[in-house]
Amino acid sequence: MASKPILHYFSSRGRMESVRWLLAAVGVEFEEKYIKTQHDLIKLKNDGDLMFWQVPMVEIDGMKLAQTRAILNYIASKYNLYGKDMKERALIDMYTEGISDLNEMIIHYPFLPLGEKDASLAQIKKKARKLYLPVFEKVLKSHGQDYLVGNRLSRADIHLVELLYHIEELDNGIVASFPLLQALRTRISNLSTVKKFLQPGSQRKPFEDEKFVEELKRNFF
């Protein structure tokens, strides 16, 4: 029996949350080894486990994979979430990169200085409402299918639904303006594996509050 993937990261969302979502969506159980102190991070570096001295890092199939895109690409390929041909893969990559652009802004938002948060939040909401969500609503409308690419579930759908949940935590009125995205979110959320991940007590991480951010800064910065 293959061993479970092991995720090395902080006990927070950050760039690892998309990995958690993707593994959960395909029903793969995983373990997490949290980096709690600077010593934990230094040990990983000194042991040679971090190729570029950065996390996320995932132990999977005998490898210690670094770099978020590489990790997600591998999981998507392994579990058939990456399209049936090069054209579908190109579309999935394009959509995923766009999702990542906005998600990066959301990831960094809790860690900004207090004086920068209002402007950042306004920018996130504007880009979500005026650019990113209209784009994906238009894609779904253009072909009338249930999923973004080839009418089959792909990593792009999982990443987009993760993003929708994150946006709603910041402003629960934005997604309401996009009925096809709401339908996609419902469709994905009703998958048994995702439904389980969305339940309280799962390995899904909560939005980082001020107390957590301050503790992380004290330990690592």
Q: Report pTM.
A: 0.95
Q: How confident is the model at residue 49 (pLDDT cuts 50, 70, 90)?
A: very high
Q: Which helix (H) or strand (E) holds 57?
A: strand 57-60
Helices (H), the chain: 17-25, 38-46, 68-78, 86-108, 114-127, 133-143, 155-170, 179-189, 192-198, 210-220
Q: How confident is the model at residue 141 (pLDDT cuts 50, 70, 90)?
A: very high
Domains within the chain, CATH numbers bracketed: 6-79+197-210 (3.40.30.10), 86-191 (1.20.1050.10)
Lowest mean pLDDT among 77-86, 92-101, 106-115: 106-115
Has residue 207 got a pLDDT over 80? yes
Q: CA 215 to CA 192: how far, in whole Å?
A: 35
Nearest to 151 by CA among 77, 54, 84, 65: 84
Q: Which helix (H) or strand (E) holds 32?
A: strand 31-34
Q: pLDDT tens digit string along 77-95? A: 999 999 999 999 999 999 9
Between 11 and 1, where is the model more confident? 11
Q: pLDDT tens digit string along 150-205? A: 999 999 999 999 999 999 999 999 999 999 999 999 999 999 999 999 999 999 99
